[in-house]
Chain A
Amino acid sequence: MSLKDSMDPRIEELLPFYVLDALTDEERELVESYLAEHPEARQQMNDLHSGASALPYGISPVEPPRQVKKALMARVTADAEARARSSAHTSRQPSRPLLGVMRGENILRTFTLGIATLAIVWVIILNTKISQLQNEIATLNNTLAAQSDSLEQIIANLPKAPPSNVITVSLKGTDIQPRAHGQLIADPEEQSAVLVISGLPKLEANRTYQVWLISGGTPVSVGLLAIDESGQGVVIVTSDESIGSFKTLAISVEPEGGSPQPTGEIVVASDL
């Protein structure tokens, strides 16, 4: 019996509108709970989804006027500055004095005296702080001037050296998944890199893709890779060793949660 024969006809009717994001909340919940209980129905959903996800690209792009970007970036920059100020203000907040338990008229008198005393102390502290900050600014200005000279020398030498250590390595699928391809974007001296993969099928819930870096024949697990409905996945891989110390990158199919060593089919393997 095929999946189409066995599928609940109500769900079958709803699936196209589910991938088009045009269901009511109630209908959406119905579909999602069905998909959760019937993983085999997800393939049909994925097939429909790949058609729906192409729709935005069928629209004619329209170049926006410059003032839209200008207004957006002004708003964003103001927000970023406000966040920075808020963060600095929070870190400078003095701890609130404990009032303790006071009753009657003494409360007001003590409170007023306390506030006055605190204000005087606060002004003294502020003056001292301002003086210290002025000294620090003067010192930093001197340091900046010295460092600017050094940086200028470094910049003068930049054309002789590559602008960045970041490299991009192309990755290819094996005979098992010949359509798979991707890129590893890495600084060889760093211990992490960004892996971008396309053309891999999404796996059942009980299996996962696992990424390995191999040097001298010993594979090291550097992360699990989730693939979306369109066959794409992005993961930041991390290792105890620098990325440049490895010779090969491979991706295998493993049981859910990953394996200590590769046990399943190798779907991507490329020299770094």
Chain B
Amino acid sequence: MDSSFYLVQLLNAVQYGLLLFLIASGLTLVFGVMGILNLAHGSMYMIGAYLAYYFTFLTDNFFLAFLISGAIALIIGFIIERFLIIHLYKRDHLDQVLLTVGLIFVFNAIQSFVWGNDPLGVEVPSLLSGSIKLTDIIEYPVYRLFISGVCIVVAVGMYLIINRTKLGMMIRAGESDRNMVENLGVDISKLFTIVFAIGVLLSALAGIVSAPIVSLVPGMGEHVLISCFVVVVIGGLGSIKGAFVAALIVGLVDTFASVLLPEISSMSIYLLMALILLVKPQGLFKN
């Protein structure tokens, strides 16, 4: 195994880490600002992927499907917040767990009813279907680099919005002291709706861009939810910067443990989480 082997693995790790960040960012954003732990976050990932499949099938254009699916995800987020989550702000986390676990079942049933239980796949759009030759055997698919690009754009976009805009200011204020924000005359309910819808959009976006490289199967949302929680817990619940750093660390550990320590690879990221929590019980970047 020469140096090119490690370089390609590093690329795999960063690419996986960025995708993890995209999935986890919405979860941590919603928790940070609203204090809502959305267990149905993985379901949004699943719905995003299935919507992308469906509209690619209908329009024969992945990018159009990308836009339509994203818009629908925003609307779903809006509806869930306005009609369901809104009743939970004054209640404890257990009620939120009940509702959002219930939503997992609802979305799984919708998925099974509308799209069936057979595994489905989306073709990589022809514009991005090429690959770049890395070694004499390995070619790196351009589409995977495109996904990394999307993740970076989202990360930078979130950074700019949170640090440079009025909305971001309110989000940051909401994270540190919700009551104070409300007392200062900010319409907190509107802010919550926007933040929740963005959270759903981010998760669905991860599902949409992953659709061509994953297989669409029932329960795909629950699988990502677990890695997603690991990232959010390591990074510190509610911290977006933490989620970014944690996602990259998890990507690195998972990738290299798979090939260098295969015996413990299934527990590697949980070991990492346990170690980090021993030193920093609140996660890396808890406010």
A binds B: no
**Which B residues have a C-beta under 8 Å from some C-beta of A?**
none
**Which A residues have a C-beta under 8 Å from some C-beta of B?**
none
